[in-house]
Structure 1
Amino acid sequence: MTVVPITRIAHHHLDVDGVRVFYRESLPERADAPVLLLLHGFPSASHQFRRLIDALGSRYRLIAPDYPGFGHTRAPDDFVHSFDRLADVIEGLVRGLGLTRFAMYMFDFGAPVGFRIAERHPEWVAGLVVQNGNAYEDGLSDGARDFTALRPETPGAEETIRGLLTLRGTRSQYETGVSDPELVAPDGWTLDQHFLDLPGRKEAQVALAFDYRSNIERYGRWQAWLREHTPPTLITWGVGDPFFPEPGARAYLRDLPDAELHLFDAGHFALETHLPEIAPLIADFLDRV
């Protein structure tokens, strides 16, 4: 009988300073399998990595948490939603799991979360997989610049942000820039919208949108960190991304000339359409680092 490896996945919660963090974790055959921390983007959660975990989880330990304000994670009502606090919680999760050396997959919001963790604990970082996770002003589209320039005191700013938090806005993030929309399953944006519509979630996203400028202010620091520590880096990028266009991918090569760069005819959520091409690149990268 043919044996087909099927990934076993466990679903857990861990308390981090009063935040009930949900995370999903593959259970590979080897106890010492390489670890990849999967840091999701907006407006999604760890469920965006389900197919990647299925593809690679039998060989590697893939850990995908939900941030506060996303997915199944539950935060206290007085939790302050900022990128610093998201990084605090994920740092606490890493400590709680006893991880000391791992690679990070940084997508969208996962880049500012991951870079904050890398700044605090460079000794933790074995390598980076960057997928449409921006750290350069080159990588901000005109639309992204306008959006991140919004301020709470600007008339209509909050309404503009909330316009992205509708089903139409969520779906557009999956389909914009995609050459074949039939490859994009509707499950992703449907589940994202379910979580966005929970009490308090839109308020959390508005707070994070107004805080996004704190990431742009740190770009120089993150670039300096890359030059100093030169982590092995795999860059996979959907060039149809309406927020973070192709120059943001190429900009990494200024600070990491040895990084491996792969561009795909994909949108923001590149794994939705190009998992068969991207998963083997990640497996090869993890085997090397």
Structure 2
Amino acid sequence: MDLQTFRNRQQTVSLDGLIDDSLTLAYTDVGEGEPLLLLHGIPTWSYLFHEIIDPLAEHYRVIAIDMAGYGYSDRRDRFDRSIEFQADVVERFLAQLNIPSAHFIAHDIGGGVALILADRSPETVRSMVLSNSVAYDSWPIDEMLELGHPRNAKMSPEDIKQLLEESFQVGLSRPERLTDEFREGITGPYLDREGIVSMVRNASSLNTNHTTRLTERLNQMPQPTLLLWGVDDNWQPISTAEKLVKDIPNAQLHAVKNCSHWVPQDAPEEFVDSTLDFLSKATSNTTND
């Protein structure tokens, strides 16, 4: 799906009570049934999931948000962008849509948001699919630490294109998956001045303390959890998944071969198939209980 088609079906919602003004969130909401909430990472936005949304929506209600400061959500200098704040935003967003609980499909820092909510609001998180997620002290990576320096707010659109192109080369293992459509889709929100500044603010907000404090609490998270991990990832290596599968009681690992960081783009069919199989079993077990 190209950028414009994806944008045309996005909706917006205004959330009050988070900052001193309404905060606008952009999101996709398609399909019917139990809700799946898709959370992207940095430096992407919900377009990361553009190839998996519709296949998942054949079975579930799929909601993919642009987190605050990302994509086409609010990008003003009016709020924190940390994963703790993003968790607040998700809670308020779900309440606004009258969704008491959802299955979380979360990538990169989106996985950190899911873990925070699984800990503090376990009734909200029915299950988790964590894909190459941040956890423990695995982040922020060097590239994001460098990007977060305030001086980078003066970067040009060409600088951003170059930065993202270098990320694409590392974040995908399969050359054929690096399409012009994907390039244009991911870079789209970040080529104007507001988008460039927002990306830098997003990078500056990354704080490993927000996941290290959860380390001793992972064994208290009862949610069925699938660790859906690209094995070639040098940013969030498979060793993190191998540790998580030991620490989260109801976790299982599905390692995706010949796949790097951006699993939904690198291996969309395997991502969908593994997720649907996991959710089918997770919901069946919940019903039986």
Query: TM-score, structure 2 length as denominator?
Result: 0.82
1:236 paired residue among 228, 232, 235: 228
Q: Measured at CA, do residues 248 and 74 of structure 1 come closer, stay the same or move farther in structure 2, by a change above 3 Å?
A: same
CA distance in 1, matches of 2:271, 2:117: 24
The aligned residue for residue 52 of structure 1 is 52
The 1-side partners of 2:23 and 2:194 are apart by: 15
Query: Is 1:280 aligned to residue 273 of structure 2?
Result: yes
How many residues are aligned here?
268
Alignment of 1:72 onto 2:72: yes
2:194 maps to which residue? 200
- 1:165/1:196 contact within 8 Å kept: no
How many Å separate the matches in 2 of 1:223 and 1:253? Answer: 13
User: CA offset at residue 123 of structure 1?
Assistant: 1.0
Q: Which residue of 2 aligns with 1:170?
A: 164
- Residue 39 of structure 1: CA displacement? 0.2
Show the counterpart of 1:267.
260
**Cα root mean square deviation, aligned:** 2.8
Q: State how far apart, in whole Å, the 1-side matches of 2:154 and 2:118 are.
A: 29
Give the equivalent residue in structure 2 for 1:16: 15
Question: Gapped runs of 5+ residues in structure 2?
Answer: 1-7, 17-21, 283-289
2:82 counterpart of 1:118: no
2:181 corresponds to 1:187: yes
Deviation at 1:84, TM superposition (A): 2.9
The 1:199/1:150 distance shift into structure 2, 3 A limit, reads closer
- Inter-partner Cα distance in structure 2 for 1:161 and 1:242: 28
Contact 1:165–1:202 (Cα < 8 Å) also in 2: no
SS in 1 for 2:44: coil
Secondary structure, aligned partner of 1:260: strand
CA distance in 2 between counterparts of 1:195 and 1:275 reads 22
| Cα displacement string for residues 244-277 of structure 1 (whole angstroms, at most 9, x for unaligned residues) | 1111111102212542211122111112121111
What is the TM-score normalised by the length of structure 1? 0.82
What SS does the aligned partner of 1:129 have? strand
Following TM superposition, by how much is the alpha carbon of 1:70 offset from its aligned partner in structure 2, in angstroms?
1.7
Q: Write the deviation string for residues 171-217 of structure 1: whole angstroms up to 9, x where unpaired.
A: 232331644311232222322222112232222222232221x2x11
User: Is contact 1:10–1:27 with CA below 8 Å preserved after alignment?
Assistant: no
Is the Cα–Cα contact under 8 Å of residues 118 and 221 in structure 2 kept in the other structure? no
Match of 1:4 in 2: none
State the AA in 1 paired with 2:205.
D
Query: Identity percentage over the alignment?
Result: 26
Tell me, yes or no, if the aligned pair for 2:171 and 2:262 is still in contact at 8 Å: no
